[in-house]
């Protein structure tokens, strides 16, 4: 048996945190072939649920919880005069405790042939009912482990003791290897460029591109975790370099909850830091010694730069049109997704058919990811100021569709043509939400994900298909 803790942070109630991919990763790392994974919430205001990751359904469930246990109702639990030993900062959250009773604090999932057993549309959620705050789930995996292939084989066989059960030791997983490589590379750079980049890298990010590299690097016959981690880290540095330049062009003040490099260091330093890491990432990729990998990433870099020029040029016709939007997104976002998938497969010397299928998968996923990102700009739970894309006149598909809408379109176009103060941004946001623009964008993004998944049907993926499917779907069903 292996015992672990799954830790995550929530952004507020009522939030459905999809933990499916994290659980799949734990199964893969442990080498569990047939058995069970037991989950238990360590909080009385966090429940567990297995259901479809579909935004409308989740909103329906949130509304159901509100009707059954309204946040504004009176609860005896909240009458601190009748309770003993209550902390001074205890929140009034009787509704959240009642809602947890409607869910469950624990669940067990089956594992067969090394894969989590879930229906086609099922996901596993930790449901935040109070928050925001750090959360923790207890996990136990038991059953038959493949000790020969498991990176935790020694710990499983030796039953390394840990608090509350048996726990794996300090074996590095793929994500650890990337973070270690990023830290190593930033340690050797001069402080004037390393310090600003380190702030950006350490602020987090989804790490989707390096994850795609590491997954696709397992498909061919020559999988080397260290080389794939080096490639993944270089691509993450390249991605962050593009963000530094984007923030300068967009005059953005914050990224990932922290001041942008341009805002903190000035425009000249921001350009220099971005240029330095464009060059460094390119050198690191070239030093891997695979010319096909180098060419794939270089082509993506060309596409990114060309699309940035198109993006700036098209802002004069804000909000633009669907074709112009796709042209920019395919370069600025999808090109690096496609290169991440293709370069990982090329590094492992996968079949040409698999490389091209994965490249197409990455391209479609990248466009869908950007569409989902556009929708996040209109979400109050995104963690960033609502309407930021409107203020910066960034090409945004919800804005394009709202501007085309028969009812709200004329007012949207009139507002976007003028100065965009707080009142105007707020009104445009209202109009977008009241139209069917967000629904159209969500449907289009999910359609692109399904098209991306169809690209994988004809190629052998060495058991990684469920992970790639889950990653693609979670990339568009999100609120941050």
Is 4 in a helix, a strand, or coil? strand
pTM value > 0.85: no
A 10 A CB-CB count for 464 gives 16
Query: pLDDT by residue for the chain (480 residues), tens digit each?
Result: 788 899 999 998 899 999 999 999 999 888 898 999 999 999 999 999 999 988 899 999 999 999 999 988 888 887 877 776 666 667 788 898 899 889 999 999 999 989 999 998 899 999 999 989 899 999 999 888 875 444 433 333 333 333 233 233 334 578 889 999 999 999 999 999 999 999 999 887 889 999 999 999 999 999 999 999 999 999 999 999 999 998 888 888 888 878 899 999 999 999 999 999 999 999 999 999 999 999 999 999 999 999 999 888 887 677 889 999 999 999 999 999 999 999 999 999 999 999 999 999 999 999 999 999 999 888 766 556 667 778 878 888 999 999 999 999 999 999 988 888 889 888 999 999 999 999 999 999 999 999 999 999 988 887 888 999 999 998 888 766
**Residues 356/448, Cβ–Cβ less than 8 Å:** no
Strands 165-166 and 161-162, how do they pair?
antiparallel
How many residues comprise the chain? 480
What's the pLDDT score for residue 316? 64
Domains of the chain, CATH where assigned: 2-151 (2.60.120.460), 183-476 (1.10.600.10)
What's the pLDDT score for residue 76? 87
What's the pLDDT score for residue 156? 33
The whole-angstrom separation of Cα 420 and Cα 315 is: 14
What's the pLDDT score for residue 85? 66
What's the pLDDT score for residue 384? 60
What's the pLDDT score for residue 161? 31
137 closest CA partner among 307, 233, 336, 3: 3
392 closest CA partner among 252, 242, 258: 252
> What b-and-e string marks burial along 218-243, b requiring 16 or more CB atoms within 10 Å of the CB?
bbbeebebebbbbbbbbbbbbbbbbb
**Residues 128/47, Cβ–Cβ less than 8 Å:** no
| H/E element, 34 | strand 32-41
């Amino acid at each position: 048996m292996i015992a672990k803790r799954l830790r995550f942070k929530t952004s507020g109630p009522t939030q459905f945190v999809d933990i499916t991919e994290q659980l799949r990763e734990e199964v893969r790392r442990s080498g569990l072939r047939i058995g069970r994974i037991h989950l238990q919430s360590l909080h009385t205001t966090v429940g567990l649920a297995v259901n479809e990751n579909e935004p409308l359904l989740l909103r329906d469930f949130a509304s159901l919880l509100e009707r059954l246990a309204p946040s504004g109702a009176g609860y005896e639990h909240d009458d601190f005069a009748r309770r003993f030993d209550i902390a001074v900062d205890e929140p009034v959250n009787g509704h959240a405790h009642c809602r947890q009773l409607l869910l469950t604090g624990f669940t067990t999932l089956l594992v067969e042939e090394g894969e989590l057993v879930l229906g086609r549309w099922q996901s596993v959620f930790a449901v935040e009912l109070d928050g925001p705050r750090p959360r923790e789930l207890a996990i136990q995996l038991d059953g038959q482990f493949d000790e020969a292939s498991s990176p935790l084989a020694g710990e499983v066989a030796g039953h390394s003791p840990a608090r509350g059960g048996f726990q794996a030791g300090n074996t590095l997983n793929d994500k650890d290897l990337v973070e270690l490589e990023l830290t190593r590379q930033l340690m050797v750079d001069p402080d004037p460029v390393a310090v600003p980049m380190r702030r950006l890298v350490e602020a987090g990010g989804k790490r989707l591109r390096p994850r795609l590299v590491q997954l696709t690097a397992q498909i061919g016959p020559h999988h080397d975790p260290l080389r794939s981690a080096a490639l993944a880290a270089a691509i993450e540095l390249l991605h962050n370099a593009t963000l530094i330049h984007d923030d300068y062009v967009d005059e953005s003040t914050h990224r990932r909850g922290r001041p942008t490099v341009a805002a903190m260091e000035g425009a000249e330093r921001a350009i220099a830091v971005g240029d330095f890491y464009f060059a460094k990432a390119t050198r690191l990729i070239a030093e891997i010694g695979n010319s096909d990998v180098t060419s794939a990433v270089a082509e993506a870099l060309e596409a990114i730069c060309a699309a940035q020029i198109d993006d700036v040029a098209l802002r004069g016709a804000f909000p633009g049109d669907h074709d112009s939007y796709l042209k920019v997104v395919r370069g600025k976002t999808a090109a690096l997704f496609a290169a991440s998938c293709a370069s990982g497969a090329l590094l492992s010397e996968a079949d040409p058919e698999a490389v091209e299928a994965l490249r197409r998968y990455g391209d479609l996923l990248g466009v869908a990811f950007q569409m989902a990102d556009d929708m996040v700009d209109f979400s109050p739970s995104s963690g960033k100021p609502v309407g930021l894309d409107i203020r910066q006149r960034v090409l945004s598909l919800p804005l394009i569709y709202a501007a085309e809408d028969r009812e709200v379109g004329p007012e949207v176009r009139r507002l976007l043509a003028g100065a965009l103060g707080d009142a105007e941004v707020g009104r445009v946001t209202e109009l977008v939400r009241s139209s069917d623009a967000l629904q159209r964008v969500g449907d289009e993004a999910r359609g692109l994900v399904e098209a991306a998944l169809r690209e994988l049907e004809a190629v052998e993926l060495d058991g990684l298909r469920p992970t790639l499917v889950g990653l693609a779907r979670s990339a568009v069903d999100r609120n941050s």
